[in-house]
Structure formats: structure tokens, C-alpha cells
A and B are shown apart, each in its own frame.
Chain A
């Protein structure tokens, strides 16, 4: 049983996804329980896998006993267990949170289907993470993508359909590129197993076919990752999806894409490849990363809708992740990996907060946040913590990743990246300050007259989010602080992963 945990991790949510609509026929409310319990089981399995990896090192599980490279291998090492913990945790948090959220954001009769697709999505992202077979990654990528198109289109606004359709187009192009890249790799080496590819590929590094393969893989993944300027699908997708889905996708979807990029760049390919490539790949990616960091922050400044602002902010944050990857040294890789965790926690919190605000007020404009500090104090406290963390205040997780990225930039002599990181922190501070200012220092719309008196300082009634939303939100917000102070745990895991990748 214990031996089969890597398979169960994928099989359980997949099977439950299929039976959830049936369970929903019996009683719609039951579907929430099945989804929550299933994601919880996945999270527990991930934890137990983490324990195994820490004790024994790499896990290799052979699907139905077929020996790799012929059969499909599930390979779990320090890198993907790190990602797996993040996504299974956020999927579980999202499932708990969704209960009240979809009450108002999804039609009643669609609930069982929502959970069914949600579990498919979770299956997909976890499958992409644990599999050691590159074609299998593509299969799970398609499962993930198809389910996320559906999840986005479930949003109640009419634009949700269009946003889902746009994502479908962009996502399909990205996936096709990825598949083409795999095709070239298979053509040259005759294998699809990642570990096997890593062994066989170096002798073909100089060929045009392999260079083309890399380009297809990289562009496809950058599209999935929503790296500027390939980010167009993302803001609308996040803005019109149900809030739970915005939170879960922001916290897991892009993380998994980043993971696959890291896997392809440093396990399938290796540093030697970049040394002899006809273009300076590192330089191109670096320019993209810097452009993403700055453009994301600047576009976020211009938004009036909080969900879009957060989406553009994600564009910038993805730039950070890409930056750490392209620095190609240990500290940069640590910065990148730790930012996968940190950004999942921060952006997760922020989108969960937005969901709670939508639940209470039904609106997502930044203007609407005025005076919410008095109405929803705990939710807004969580928001403030996450916003501080996004800015990179010490003792929050945001600081840790920026610290590592700065150290890494200096190490390879690119000191000019430090002012860029600082500048984007400043921009981040500005666009979050607008909201913090609204939340804590401005009276609610239509209540301006009541303020500024010493005597008539009436306290608006506190009406915070329901517990099933507040507790998950607050927990994730607290983790932003916990992993900011006790950063050493995740950092040491990320360090082990980085060492293996850059050996």
C-alpha cells in the first residue's frame, strides 16, 4: 500500500472526479465533502511522500510494474516534492474555502460538476508534478488545461465564457508547442523518460533538431506560465473565474508550469546545452524576466478591478520566478523555488480575501474596498499581511525570495538587477498601498459624513466573512509570516533541489 502512494496520489482524485457527479445526484451538498476529503487525502499522501524523500532520497515508482524507460515512471525527488506539497495544500485549502464561495458564484445545479472538474484539475497538476515521463507530463497538462477552461467558464459573468475561450486558444497553442518539442526529442533519442533523456540527450546537443525542440518546449511553457508578453490569457481568466478558482489557479497552475520549465531546462537539458547553444538563451530569458517584472507591476498600477490587479501582479511575480531560473546559479534557483512557495501563499491569500469580499459585497472594484477595515477586520488583516509580504517586508516570505534573488544577481556580477528588484518592490508597494489606504483610512462609500468627529465616531458593525472562508484565508496569511521567520525549513529543501538541478 505504502509502496503505491505515488500512484494513489493521482488515481484517487481521478476516480473520485468521475463519481462526484453521481454522488451529486444523491445530494448536491455531498459533492463538497467528497472534494474536500479527496484533496485532504492527497495532501496527506504528499506529506508522507515528503517524509520518504527526506529519508531515502529519490522515489521511483513504476506504473504497473513496467520498467522505465519502457514503462511510465513516477519519479519524486526534492524538486517535485517541494512543488507537490505546495499544490496539494493549496488545492485542499481551496476546496474548504469553495463551499460558501460557490454558493454565490456558481449556479446551484452546476455544483457537482464544479467539484468533479476541480478534482480533475487537481489530478492534472499533481500528475504533471510527479510523473517522470515527459509525454505523460503533456497528457496531464492537457487534463489540467481542459479542466481549467471549464472552471473559468463556470464564472457567472458573461465575460467568463470569453475568458475561458481565450485561454483555450492560448493554452492549446502552448500545449501544441510543448508536444512538438517532445516529438523532436523522441525523434532524436527514441525515449520519453526524463531520466533517460537526460542521459541520451548530451550527444545531440549540437543538432538543430534538439535546439528546435528546446525552443518549442520553452515557448510552450512560457505561454502556460504567462510570462510577459505571452500573458494575455491570464488577467481575464483570473478576473472572471469564480474566486476559489482564481486563488487555486494563481497558487498552483502557474507554479506547476514553472516546475515543468525548471525540469525541462535543468534535468532534461543541462547547463552544457546553454553553453554551446547558438543563441545566448540565458540572456534572452533574462530580458523576458526583467520585462515581466517591470511590465507586470506597471500594468497592475493601472487597474481598477482588484482581480485584474492581482493577475497583473502575478505577471510580475512570475518574472521573479523566471529571473531566478535564468540566473542559473544555486542561490538564484533557491530564490526561484522558494518564490514558488511564497507566491502561492501570498497570491493565494489575496485571491481568497477577494472571494470573501465578493461574498459580502458582491463587488471587486478597488474603490469598493473603502472602509472594509472596519467591516471585515480579520479578512483585511490577512490582506494586509499578504500585501506586506508582496512588497518584500522582512519577516514575511516575500523578503526571503527577494533576498536570495538579490544575492544571486550580485554573485554573477549582475548588480543592476538589484535596483530593478527594488523598483518593482516600490511599484508593488504603491499599488497595494492604494488598497490598504482604502481599507483602513477611508470611510466606506456613502458613509463619508459620519467620519472625522470625536463624538459621533460610530463604529460600523463588523460583518466578517463566514468561518469556512475566514479560517483558510487566515491560515494561509499566517503561513506568509511563519515561513518568513522560520524560512530555513523550506529554504533547505529548495537548496537540496537546486544542488541536484545545477550539479
Chain B
């Protein structure tokens, strides 16, 4: 594999940090401030895209920043897996920024400068996670995300928001310090390095018992992936303003979580080692439990954002389940679902926010007939839900298709049943919303005629909804990128 030395990943990270400084100085003039956000978002996306051809050509970009201690380096390495997250995150940041500007202004929110600053830092760190060359660098950025998004979750500063934010911080920080950090420490102790490598770094370095302990510590430590029992920070974080929820769910937090799981499983443990010990199968069943339980919990939620939150928990475990199968199609599915779920879920959250801004309704039971008032928004919601259920021709179908192939490859037929049941449950908690929105009569006294959210909010919704369709029809684009990552994880077999 050809390695190219370039500082471009560092620039991609720094560009939004620079924006933070500019944003902090432009608090007095909102338009200038928002211009910096947009400029940084576009520039960041441009930088990420500029690295794409190199990666597609099968090369990797590396950059070593500094050595903190022997074996602990701050270093970046752009490969195809990192590219999947980076592309998704940087593209959706542009869209979310537009949406956030619309939302924050419509709601006349306070402390908008702090809001956009934290937003930018969170995105920088998400890039940092995507491009990390070793566990240490990844850990550092992982923690920065926790702290900055904490400020976003607590944004409203109401007692309720602060309570939710505290739980958010306690779960994410607690698990990472108590499990992730010792796992990293043990990895360093046994493997002697923390650098990610295609076939893992732990094989042959420790007994199976120790490797299993490290494995459990990692899985418990990466609470951002939303696996039960460390999932309840996610519903708690729903007190945040909707753009934050969208960002949290689509990009910066949960996707970083599952990305970290994939990264650790494939590039620290390695596929061979995991299948030899059989840890993948355990994880697959564990994730299945989360998938089903979270779906059932989603059914019971009346608050739309909460329902979406539980749906996210369940969908994240799809990604973990898929990678835990340790087969080519399974891994493909997990990586593709990072992007596909991001587009679908961000659409759904955007819609929830649009509904709230326009009608101040939060609950599913109040949405009767809202499709007549907000046809574009609800059409986008329908697209997002169908993608979650995995109906063709929406993006979700592609990743589920590969997931099913993966279960056959891994010969885990019980998992197939889990997938079928959870698909039914997905339909059960999304379709009633769509049905109520378009086919039920609105309650009396409601305004008739079309009254959509501000254009700055509707446009992003339509773009991400369109993205869900594009991901189906143009799936080979994403597939090519993912295939390179799968090949490097499987030692070029795929």
C-alpha cells in the first residue's frame, strides 16, 4: 500500500477550529458569524473531497504530529474507512449548519455564538476520530467530542436540560475512563503499540482470556455506540435543540461511536483473531438484543424525538451486528450503514425540528393530518422512515441487503430472524406516523393550507431526503470506497 505524507488531514481538522476563533469574535454580528460557519463547513468538505481520489486509488495519507510519550503519538492516517465517516460528517455539517441557522433564528435561541463554536469543535473532533492513526489519538478526540457536545446538550440551561446533560456526560465520560482507557492501556501493555493495522495488533501478543477482557472493556467503554446497557444517555440528550440532536445522531457522536467500534474490532483485534476466539458471535447476539429491545421501547414513545432516539439505538446496533459477523458482506454493510443511516436519521430529526418550529408539537399523537400542512417536510419524513425500514429504492435497503448476505456467510441463521423481526418493528413504529400525517383528519380548529417551516430549514430536509435516494441509486460510489476498507481489514481477500 502506497503511503503519502501530507498535512491535509490536519488542515481538515484545523479549519473548523480556526472557525471557532473567528466565530467567537463575531458574536455581535450574526450574519458574519454564520458566514464563518458556512465557509469552514464548505472548506472542510472540499479538503476531505480533495483527498478522495488518492484514497480511491488505494493509497493512504499519513501525518505524524508529535510524540507525547514513547508509544503514544498524535498521528493521522487517512484510509477508506476514515474517509467514509469524514465524508459523511463534513457533508452533513454543511447541511446541518444551514438548518441550524434557520432553527436557531426561528426559535430566537440564546447563546448562539457558544452554540456554533461548540458545533465547530465537535465537527473538528469527529474528523480527528475519522483520521486517527492510533488508539491514543482517537481517544483524545473521542473525549473532546464528549465535552463539547455536553455544552450543546445543556444549551437551554433549564434544570431539565442540565439534568439530561449531566447524565450524558456521566455515561460517556464514565465509561470511557473506566473501560476505554484501561482497554487502551492494556492494549499498549501487551501489543507494545497503539497504531491501527490491517490485521490487528493483538494477535499472538496475549492469551485469549486477556484478549477477551480487553475486548469487553472496549465494547463497554465505547458508550457512544449506544449499546445496551449504556444507552440511556441518548434519550437523556434529547433535551438539546433539534439541530444538536440531528448532529449527535447522524454524525458527531453516535457515528463516531460505531466507527470507533469498527476501527477497534478490525484494526486492533483483527478479523482472524476475533473469529478464532469466537468473540464476534457473542457480540452479534449482544447487539441483536439491543436491536430488538430498543425497537420495542421505540414503539412505546409518544415524544417524536424520543422515538427517533430509540430508533437510533437500534440502528446503531445494526452496524455493530454487521461488523461482528466478520464476513466481507457484513463488514461492507456496517460501513455503508454509517453513511446511509446518517442521511436517513438526520432527515427524520430535521423534520421533527421543523414540526416543532412551525407548530410547537412534540408528540406523535398530535401529528394527525400534519402532512396537509407541511407536505414537503412530511414527504421527506416518509422517505427517511422507508430507508430505516429498508424498503427499496431507499438507501437503507442496500445496507440491509449486505447485512442479510453477511448472516448467510457467517451461517448465523438466528440473526436472520432478528433482522426480520426488527424490520417489522421498524415498520410498526414509523408507518403509523406517516399514516397519521397524511390520512388522518387534523383536529378541529387547525389551520388549513400549506404552512411550512422557514426555507432555511426545508431546503436541508429536502437535500438529505434526496441523499437517501441517491445512496440507493448511486450506491456503487460508496461501495467502491467501502470495498477498499474491507479489503485492508481482510488482508486483500475481498
Contacts and interface: CB of A to CB of B under 8 A. Distances in A.
Interface of A: 393-395, 400, 403-404, 406-407, 410, 418, 422, 425-426, 429, 441, 451-455, 457, 484-488, 491
A437 to B, nearest CB: 8
A229 B158 CA distance: 44
A485 B157 contact: no
B66 A426 contact: no
Contact of B162 (A404, A426, A441, A486): A441
Given A418-B185, A422-B178, A485 B68 contact: yes
B68 A487 contact: yes
Given A441-B162, A452-B158, A422 B68 contact: no
A490 B241 CA distance: 45
7 contacts: A403-B72, A410-B189, A426-B178, A454-B109, A454-B110, A455-B108, A486-B66
Nearest to B165: A441
Contact of A403 (B69, B74, B108, B177): B69
B154 interface: yes
A453 B173 CA distance: 29
A19 B140 CA distance: 51
Interface in B283-298: none
Given A395-B140, A400-B69, A404-B69, 16 more contacts: A393-B143, A400-B68, A403-B69, A403-B185, A407-B185, A422-B178, A426-B174, A426-B178, A451-B157, A453-B110, A455-B108, A457-B110, A485-B68, A487-B69, A488-B68, A491-B69
Q: Which 10 A-B pairs have the closest CB atoms?
A: A454-B110, A457-B110, A394-B140, A487-B68, A487-B69, A410-B189, A395-B140, A406-B185, A452-B158, A488-B67
A394 B69 contact: no
A494 to B, nearest CB: 11
B137 to A, nearest CB: 9
B7 interface: no
A390 to B, nearest CB: 13
A426 B111 CA distance: 31
B182 A422 contact: yes
Interface string B58-81: 000000001111101010000000
A400 B162 CA distance: 32
B136 interface: yes
B391 interface: no
Nearest to B65: A485
A329 to B, nearest CB: 14
Contacts of B174: 426
B125 to A, nearest CB: 12
A488 B174 CA distance: 28
A403 B71 CA distance: 11
A1 B110 CA distance: 64
Interface string B130-170: 00000010011001000000000010011000100000000
B117 to A, nearest CB: 14
B181 interface: yes
Contacts of A393: 143
B69 A454 contact: no
B69 A488 contact: yes
A407 B139 contact: no
Contacts of A394: 136, 139-140, 143
Nearest to A454: B110
Interface of B: 66-70, 72, 74, 108-111, 136, 139-140, 143, 154, 157-158, 162, 173-174, 177-178, 181-182, 185, 189
B293 to A, nearest CB: 29
A457 B162 CA distance: 17
Contacts of B157: 441, 451-452
A57 B116 CA distance: 53
Of A394, A404, A441, A484, most buried by chain B (CB within 10 Å of CB) is: A394
A163 B189 CA distance: 46
A215 to B, nearest CB: 35
Nearest to A394: B140
Given A400-B69, A441-B162, A487-B68, A422 B181 contact: yes
A234 to B, nearest CB: 28
Contacts of A453: 110
Contacts of B154: 441
A452 to B, nearest CB: 6
Contacts of B140: 394-395
Contacts of A410: 189
A393 B136 CA distance: 12
Nearest to B185: A406
Contacts of B177: 422, 425-426, 429
A400 B70 CA distance: 11
A349 to B, nearest CB: 19
A420 to B, nearest CB: 12
A451 B157 CA distance: 9
A403 B185 CA distance: 8
A488 B139 CA distance: 19
A407 B189 contact: yes
Contacts of A441: 154, 157, 162
Nearest to A418: B182
Contacts of A488: 67-70
A278 to B, nearest CB: 34
B111 A457 contact: yes
A233 B377 CA distance: 68
Contacts of B181: 422
Of B111, B136, B177, most buried by chain A (CB within 10 Å of CB) is: B177
A18 to B, nearest CB: 45
Contacts of A455: 108
Contacts of A485: 66, 68, 74
Contacts of A407: 185, 189
Contacts of B158: 452
A496 to B, nearest CB: 14
Nearest to A410: B189
Contacts of B66: 485-486
Contacts of B108: 454-455
B210 to A, nearest CB: 11
B370 to A, nearest CB: 26
Nearest to A419: B182
Contacts of A395: 68, 140
Contacts of A425: 177
Contacts of A406: 185
A261 to B, nearest CB: 25
Nearest to B162: A441
Contacts of B67: 488
A457 B109 CA distance: 11
B166 to A, nearest CB: 8
A274 B189 CA distance: 28
A453 B177 CA distance: 35
A482 to B, nearest CB: 11
A476 B376 CA distance: 56
A400 B74 CA distance: 14
Contacts of A400: 68-69
Contacts of A452: 157-158
Nearest to A403: B69
Contacts of A426: 174, 177-178
Contacts of B70: 488
Contacts of B189: 407, 410
Contacts of B143: 393-394
Contacts of B69: 400, 403-404, 487-488, 491
Nearest to B184: A394
B50 to A, nearest CB: 28
Nearest to B67: A488
Contacts of A422: 177-178, 181-182
A325 B398 CA distance: 59
A395 B144 CA distance: 11
